[in-house]
Amino acid sequence: MTEDKTVVEAGSVTMDKGMPKGRNQGIEALRIVSMFLIVVMHTLKQGGVLVAANGSTAHFYLAWFLEVIAFCAVDCYALISGYVGVQARFRWSRPVKLWLQVVFYTVLITLFFQICYPSGMNYKYWLKALFPVLSREYWYISCYFGLMIFMPVLNEGIKALPVKQLRNMVIAAVVLFCVLPVLLQGYPFNFNPEADYFGLLNGYSVLWLMVLYLIGAYIRVSDRVRQLKDRKIVGSGTAYLGSLCVLAGVYPETFRRSEILRYSAELYFAYYIVGCSGFFTVV
């Protein structure tokens, strides 16, 4: 049987150029699930469900359990960006298109409110509509735009690195950004639990999206990850559900008894990675 796919060696990372050009159904399914979970998360928080649910009731724990399930949904998109983007040709027109697409909708929405509610509008709303990325009106768009600027450098670096070094970089990033800050808050260090040690801004930052981009790219290029095909559903599903149950018990208590229990956002970052990777390998 002839091999009908061309393999290009880029450093020590094998880039397969013979993959089907159609959409990856698993990735598309992950996008759909993630978007659904994002809607659930915003309904619970912005919709006032979490505030309305009283502590120590079934409604309280159910609402927070659903919130925790949806935590990793946004970060899944950053993982997808790394998984897809590492082998895609970057075009500088992409950031421009992203900006124009967002401006199109923000201007339409602002125009709608200008017509229907003119007394509540002023020039600041129009400035935010025309410069949505710079105004950080939509945090993910602002952070993703910053990530896109660095994608060419990230991709070239990933391709040039041996897979083993890329794996070590991913491990180092997880330990540095997720594990160490949590350990430093415990005995005997007892550092400030609210300190943002590396400027991650609780995950609302370009740096955190870069970390997720690297992880997604590693999943794409790593032979070791692909060899987990037969065990991935059981292993990743177990890890995801285990971290889910732990965090579901911890996170609500953090809000109800914040004067007693204080947990760093980096703990949730570790859960994000486990949860996202679990979703990723299943699909």
Tens digits of residue pLDDT in 193-249: 667 778 888 788 899 899 989 988 988 888 766 655 545 444 454 455 455 555 544
Q: What is the pLDDT of residue 283?
A: 53
Whether 76 is covered by a domain: the verdict is yes
Q: What is the pLDDT of residue 178?
A: 76
Question: Could you tell me the pLDDT band of residue 70, with boundaries at 50, 70 and 90?
Answer: confident
Whether 162 is covered by a domain: the verdict is yes
More confident residue, 18 or 43: 43
Q: Rounded mean pLDDT of 113-137? A: 88
Average pLDDT, the chain: 75
Question: Could you tell me the pLDDT band of residue 254, with boundaries at 50, 70 and 90?
Answer: very low
Q: What is the pLDDT of residue 102?
A: 93
pTM equals: 0.77
Whether 75 is covered by a domain: the verdict is yes
Q: What is the pLDDT of residue 5?
A: 36
Question: Could you tell me the pLDDT band of residue 6, with boundaries at 50, 70 and 90?
Answer: very low
Whether 121 is covered by a domain: the verdict is no
Q: Rounded mean pLDDT of 84-112? A: 91
| Residue ranges making up the domain that contains 245 | 7-89+139-282
CB within 8 Å of 120: residues ≥ 6 apart = 113
Strand 7-10 to 13-16 pairing: antiparallel
CA distance 209 to 110: 29
Which residues lie across from 15 on neighbouring strands? 8
Q: What is the pLDDT of residue 146?
A: 93
Whether 96 is covered by a domain: the verdict is no
Whether 126 is covered by a domain: the verdict is no
Whether 134 is covered by a domain: the verdict is no
Whether 2 is covered by a domain: the verdict is no
The total of structural domains in the chain comes to 1
Q: What is the pLDDT of residue 58?
A: 79
Q: What is the pLDDT of residue 7?
A: 35
Share of the chain above pLDDT 70, in %: 66
More confident residue, 222 or 43: 43
With a cut of 80, say whether residue 157 has pLDDT above it: yes
pLDDT tens readout for residues 45-69: 889 888 888 767 778 878 877 887 7
CA distance 13 to 142: 30
With a cut of 90, say whether residue 148 has pLDDT above it: yes
Inter-residue long-range contacts of 189-195, CB under 8 Å, 24+ positions, other chains counted:
193/262, 193/263, 193/264, 194/262
Share of the chain above pLDDT 90, in %: 24
